[in-house]
Amino acid sequence: MTNADVSNFSIKGPDRAENQDAIIGGLQVAGGVLFAVADGLGGQPAGDVASKAALVGLGLGLGIARKPDFKAGFKQAVTAIEEKTTAQPGTKGMATTISAVFIKDSRAHVGHVGDSRVYHIHRGHIEQITKDQTRAQQMVDAREMTPAEAQHDERRHMLYSVVSARGKYELEVDHFTVEPGDRILLVTDGVYELIDEAGLLEISDCSVEAQNMTEAAYLRINARGPIDDATVVCVDILKD
């Protein structure tokens, strides 16, 4: 099992009764370690219930599969939301994003739905592993909009794929190799709306440990003023 240093935080956004983000900060399951962030949809009811239930289901699904099978994991996340919808009045229509990383040995497996993000920082370079499942990103892919334009277009918040009781979503899976010195960041949109890719790399370059990274990101978000729930999970790969 890969040795890692982990730190995380989650800030409730302004004018919110509940923080609708949820975290898995290092669940030992299926012979590896699972990390995840989920962002319950603010425009739908019970986003906080959806995000928490979905992550419980995700962990359970991987445990049942006994391997990093995100197809099984996300299916179980849908089941968990369905069960909550049945048992808890006022939760019909709730939905969430999920971005997850399962690490075993020197391999990181990624499962993603929505617009939370996974970044990989390797030897001074940062790469966004996931792709936002938004209308704006679709337009960028179709060359109808530039990435710079998409950063300020309101369609960047229009999701076309989420995890809900409907069970209709587009699961993206990926994997990459990790080595000691690498850093993995899982963030919700309340983070990258305030700290762009270059800003995250700048903070990382000045942060020796995972806790330094999350503390610096927390301070920067608070200094600028949170505009949404903001969540970061930082995973540093260490020598065994």
Can you give the residue ranges of every domain in the chain?
4-237
Q: Where are the alpha helices (DSSP H) in the chain?
A: 47-65, 70-87, 135-141, 147-150, 189-192, 197-205, 210-224
pLDDT score at 1: 56
Q: What is the pTM of this model?
A: 0.96
**Six token digits for residue 122:** 């390797």
Instruction: Tell me whether residue 177 is exposed, middle or buried, using C-beta atoms within 10 angstroms of its C-beta: 0 to 12, 13 to 18, 19 or more.
Output: exposed
For the segment(s) 4-237, the CATH number from 3.30.70.20, 3.40.50.1820, 1.20.120.140, 3.60.40.10 is 3.60.40.10
Residue 35 phi, psi dihedral angles, 5° rounding: -125, 145
pLDDT score at 42: 76
11 with 218: CB under 8 angstroms?
yes
In this prediction, the residues of the chain whose per-residue pLDDT falls under 70 are: 1, 43
- Count of C-beta atoms within a 10 Å radius of residue 106: 14
Residue 213 phi, psi dihedral angles, 5° rounding: -65, -50
pLDDT score at 15: 79
- pLDDT, one tens digit per residue, over 168-181 is 999 999 999 999 99
Q: How many helices (H) and strands (E) does the chain have?
A: 7, 11
pLDDT score at 240: 81
